[in-house]
């Protein structure tokens, strides 16, 4: 059965219409998982061009839009490094915790 709130869903047609973060409305991120992460992704905001590719590919939805670029919620980032692999201009690097 379709939940009532999903009937209002409008498919985004432009990146600007996507929510601030892919888990923005879910509200289910309650267990912080950063404790076992050994490396963290760090965004070079001087280099980032705001293509939001990393935002689209992060499996945990913890990359969010900020000032036309991206930032990362380290409380929930698991350090998988997928964002680093998907950035076309290497604007994200993994750094030791």
Residues lying near ligand SF4 in the complex (CB under 6 A): 41, 43, 48-54, 58, 60, 62-63, 69-70, 72, 77-83, 86-87, 89, 91-92
In the complex, the smallest distance separating the C-beta of residue 61 from ligand SF4, rounded to whole angstroms, is: 8
Q: For residues 29 and 80, which CB has a smaller minimum distance to ligand SF4 in the complex?
A: 80
Residue 91 and residue 34: Cα distance in Å, rounded?
Answer: 22
In the complex, the smallest distance separating the C-beta of residue 65 from ligand SF4, rounded to whole angstroms, is: 9
Identify the burial level of 94 via C-beta atoms within 10 angstroms of its C-beta, where 0-12 means exposed, 13-18 middle and 19 or more buried. middle
Q: For residues 6 and 72, which CB has a smaller minimum distance to ligand SF4 in the complex?
A: 72
Residue 9 and residue 86: Cα distance in Å, rounded?
Answer: 27
Q: For residues 8 and 46, which CB has a smaller minimum distance to ligand SF4 in the complex?
A: 46
In the complex, the smallest distance separating the C-beta of residue 83 from ligand SF4, rounded to whole angstroms, is: 3
Q: Yes or no: say if 69 and 54 are a contact pair by the CB < 8 Å rule.
A: no
Residue 73 and residue 40: Cα distance in Å, rounded?
Answer: 10
């Amino acid at each position: 059965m379709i939940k009532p709130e999903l009937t209002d869903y409008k498919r985004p047609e432009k990146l600007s219409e996507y929510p601030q973060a892919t888990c923005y409305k879910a509200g289910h991120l309650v267990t912080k998982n950063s404790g076992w992460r050994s490396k963290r992704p760090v965004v070079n905001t001087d280099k980032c061009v705001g293509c939001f590719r990393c935002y689209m590919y992060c499996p945990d939805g913890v990359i969010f839009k900020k000032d036309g670029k991206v930032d990362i919620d380290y409380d929930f980032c698991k350090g998988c490094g997928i964002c680093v692999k998907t950035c076309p201009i290497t604007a994200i690097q993994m750094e030791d915790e």
